Amino acid sequence: MKIQDLSLDEQRDVAQKLLSKRYGGMEEVHAKLCEKYGVTRATLYKWAKLLKQDRVIDFETSSFIKSRSTMLDAEGNIRLQWVKEDREVADRLNDIAEAVREILKDVVAVDPIERVTVDTKNDVANLYLCNDLHIGALMDKEETGDRNWDRKVAMQTIKASIDYLVENSPATETAFIVDLGDLLEIDNFKNATPKSGNILDVDGRYSKILAIALEAMTYMIEKALTRHENVVFLNINGNHDIATGHAVRAYVQAWFRNNDRVTVDDRALEVKYLAFGSTLLGFAHGDGLKMRDAGEVMAVDNEAVFSSTINRYFHFGHNHKDSAYDGRLCKSESHRNLSPLNNWAAHKGYRRQAGTMKCISYHKDFGEISRTTFNVNMMES
């Protein structure tokens, strides 16, 4: 049984007892609660942790209370009451609720996608890599010397890139679509990096940015389904979208829940792998695991099958540039992204070539055999 399964009155009853000032000496009360609800003492303590955590849940308003002072009259009736709410927690819950409401406004029935009619190769698989798209970032070429970037431009660029890559890459039976993290510029309504709190230039509210990111991922998969019989979607949380990365794969999984041609890797791991014949592919964002260490980590994580693989590749984002480390155990590679320099990067003196996105084709026996690259300058030609 979970506390959410209890009625509102029962939750109030449990809360009143577990959150009592005499919480530490209520063994008899706790024993009665365990018997009443048919749970163990450990489950009861989990309830206490959910209900308390130095806060009190107000079941009438669903808000979180830091402290409450009450003045009673001689008969014990409430005369005055002072309540301090934890606004940070309340605001975070409201942010999430608002984002969900905004997204649901645009959710429509999904039209069925016709099965592939072209001849596909079953001994080759395509890997479509997208990384560091930073949807929601706002860049002005007058400030950065690079390109303009906002939600509209991001969506146009993503659609142009996947359209080009799918139409100009081999028609394989299986396609892997991998988001290497930092799909979004922000992770909440604070318009700042999740860990360091650095203020970011953002185009719109979090709910609108999240909606664009979800549309982009579903569009990529639907486009791939026009040329591939089966599509596997995998994503990694980046340092800009630590929490949102989990929401993205949950949304994609729900969107394609009735499509047996789409498989979603719903694990919360920050390092993931795909195997295709004798080829082993690893994926990480790059803010944690580094390219030089990737081979050893791959060997440990894939101990049962590592010796049966011959061609091993590890893919990274985060650095916003193309670079490679050809190690003894695997080849590690970081990839340039589609989005341009932001004001911070330009101020620091970073410079770069045109943004790109790649499709890499792997043979089940021979490893990489070809790659197709989309260049943002192709949109202007």
**More confident of the two residues 94 and 379:** 379
Q: What is the mean pLDDT of residues 276-299?
A: 96
How would residue 21 be classed by pLDDT, with cut points 50, 70 and 90?
very low
Mean pLDDT in residue range 273-279: 95
Q: Compute the distance between CA of residue 228 and CA of residue 110 in angstroms, rounded to an integer.
A: 19
Residue 101 — φ and ψ, nearest 5°? -60, -40
Give the model confidence (pLDDT) of 59-90 as tens digits.
445 454 555 566 666 666 666 656 555 555 55
Range 279-302 average pLDDT:
97
Residue 256 has pLDDT above 60, yes or no: yes
- Other CB atoms closer than 10 Å to residue 114's CB: what's the count? 8
What residue spans define the domains of the chain? 3-89, 112-380
Q: What is the pLDDT of residue 253?
A: 94
CATH of domain 112-380: 3.60.21.10
The overall average pLDDT reported for the chain is 84
Q: State pLDDT tens for residues 136-150.
A: 999 999 999 999 999
C-beta separation of 149 from 136 below 8 A? no
Tens of pLDDT along 223-242? 999 999 999 999 999 999 99
Answer yes or no: pTM beyond 0.75: no
In the chain, the percentage of residues whose pLDDT exceeds 70 is: 76
Q: Which two tokens stand for residue 324?
A: 């490679």
Q: Given this model, what pLDDT does residue 62 score?
A: 47
Contacts of 231 (CB under 8 A, 6+ apart): 174, 175, 176, 177, 221, 224, 225, 261, 262, 263
| pLDDT, tens digit, 9 for 90 and up, residues 303-333 | 999 999 999 999 999 999 999 999 999 999 9
Between CA 67 and CA 128 the distance in angstroms is: 52
Strand blocks (E) in 53-184: 56-58, 63-72, 78-85, 121-130, 172-179
